[in-house]
Amino acid sequence: KRNVLIIGAGGVAQVVAHKAAQHNDRLGDLHIASRTVAKAEAIIETVHAKAAMKVPGVFQAHALDAMDTAAVVALIKATGCQIVINVGSPFVNMPVLDACIQAGVAYMDTAIHEDAGKVCEAPPWYGNYEWKRREACKAAGVTAILGVGFDPGVVNAYARVAEGLMDTITSIDIVDINAGSHGKWFSTNFDPEINFREFTGTVYSWQNGAWQSNTMFEVGQTFDMPVVGTQKAYLTGHDEVHSLSARYPQADVRFWMGFGDHYINVFTVLKNLGLLSEQPVKTAEGLEVIPLKVVKAVLPDPASLAPDYTGKTCIGDFVKGTKDGKPVEVLIYNVADHKEAFEEVGSQGISYTAGVPPVAAALLIADGTWDVGAMANVEDMDPAPFINLLNQIGLPTRIKDASSDRLLEF
Ligand code: NDP
């Protein structure tokens, strides 16, 4: 058994806390630390309200500035945690990873590190910060699983499954569709600052053996998805395009995210007016404001969307390649339901799909299966135990090929 420290107390942390509590018989004491301790305490209250703790045990909240590596090391030592699930904002990733290396405990996150001072990181994403710590992880024997949410995360494991079905992979198209409805006139599903940052910069994809650049909403394509039907999605830059293109340099690797016309209209207006800018402006009254912060302040708090969210998400990998000289194609995917997620853990479906995988990874580290003592992206790991476990704990995987559409089990 290994004690677990969850860092961050936002939408994804809520899911991680519930799922870790449901499996604390295989983990150990649970701790959650965030900048605002009240948010961590509130999450623990919702865990107790759902009676989610599998066995009575410790679940404690702590105030922590995760940018302060020494403070993170001190908390790891004080709590005796051996696994850190970092689901704080992406700015804290490297300070937390450094703390785990110093303390000699397992680390995982669900997004690449971002420098708070930059608008958006450019490729090679994992090469900018994470992979520079690879040697240090190895020397310390520290298991660090990078990007183990849904995308990045489970979609990387799906690519690895496809690798086993083909002789060569020629393309990986990761498609993320949220066909749910939150009932608000406009809202982002995550922190608007993070959400808009993803879409204001250059869109990078890996095609013809090189990085290609486009602008957001420039390249759209319609995909026929199970359950959610025909959906328009747009080429978007995403962490996993980098690590997957490093493993499959011969393949085209693209990430597509579904957007409705309404979202695109609102985004375009905000952007063209300069309201997504992080540069401060002065009002006529002499007040200095950052437009993006003002937009965030007037938009709904994404956490408030969960109770009324209905509909489903469908995220999957369309993988093409060849087998015995013939072209083959598979779709490996998951469908999640917003309402079911809310009823189980009090969160919307997108947080659910991001929060369950790191708990699966923690369970696999705790039982030794994934405790590799080195830094790894999800596609470096054996996908079979991960996918089997996800099938059991709320995120079943299906595979669709020319012959059938079935549950994927190993
Ligand atoms: P939220 O913004 O809801 O939560 C972030 C949390 O981090 C907040 O509780 C915040 O504290 C805390 N935090 C920020 N700075 C610090 C600090 N210096 N010290 C301690 N705590 C801090 O984010 P989400 O839950 O939506 O997302 C969490 C992570 O998951 C992000 O990295 C996101 O990119 C990633 N993600 C990954 C997905 C995937 O599928 N791979 C999908 C969705 C998200 P406070 O409350 O005080 O602001």
pLDDT tens digits along 245-263 = 999 999 999 999 999 999 9
pLDDT the model gives residue 119: 64
Say how far apart CA 65 and CA 260 lie, in whole Å: 37
At 206, is the secondary structure helix, strand, or coil?
strand
Co-location of 74 and 26 in the same domain: yes
Co-location of 79 and 197 in the same domain: no
Co-location of 115 and 24 in the same domain: yes
Contact residues for 144 (Cβ-Cβ < 8 A; gap 6+): 97, 100, 101, 106, 107, 108, 133, 137, 374, 375, 376
Spacing, Cα 12 to ligand 1 middle (Å): 7
Co-location of 206 and 291 in the same domain: yes
What range defines the domain where residue 324 resides?
A: 154-344+396-407
Co-location of 250 and 158 in the same domain: yes
Q: Is ligand 1 within 6 A of the CB of residue 357?
A: no
Sign, CA torsion 366/83/191/98: negative
| CATH code for position 35 | 3.40.50.720
| CATH code for position 238 | 3.30.360.10
Co-location of 299 and 363 in the same domain: no
Co-location of 78 and 43 in the same domain: yes
Q: How far lies 408's CA from each of 303, 318, 387, in Å? A: 32, 15, 8
Q: Is ligand 1 within 6 A of the CB of residue 64?
A: yes
Spacing, Cα 346 to ligand 1 middle (Å): 17
pLDDT tens digits along 351-362 = 999 999 999 999
pLDDT tens digits along 277-298 = 989 999 999 999 999 999 999 9
Spacing, Cα 400 to ligand 1 middle (Å): 33
The total number of structural domains in the chain stands at 2
Co-location of 226 and 335 in the same domain: yes
Q: Of 103, 87, 134, 51, nearest to 358 (Cα)?
A: 87
Q: CB–CB of 126/245 below 8 Å?
A: no
Co-location of 183 and 98 in the same domain: no
Co-location of 173 and 211 in the same domain: yes
pLDDT tens digits along 59-77 = 999 999 999 999 999 999 9
Q: CB–CB of 61/40 below 8 Å?
A: yes
What torsion do the CA atoms of 63, 69, 71, 75 make, to the nearest 10 degrees? 80
Co-location of 326 and 187 in the same domain: yes
List the residue whose alpha carbon is closest to atom 29 of ligand 1. 87
Q: How far lies 383's CA from each of 290, 358, 364, 367, in Å? A: 43, 14, 11, 15
Co-location of 302 and 383 in the same domain: no
| Better-predicted residue by pLDDT, 116 or 145 | 145
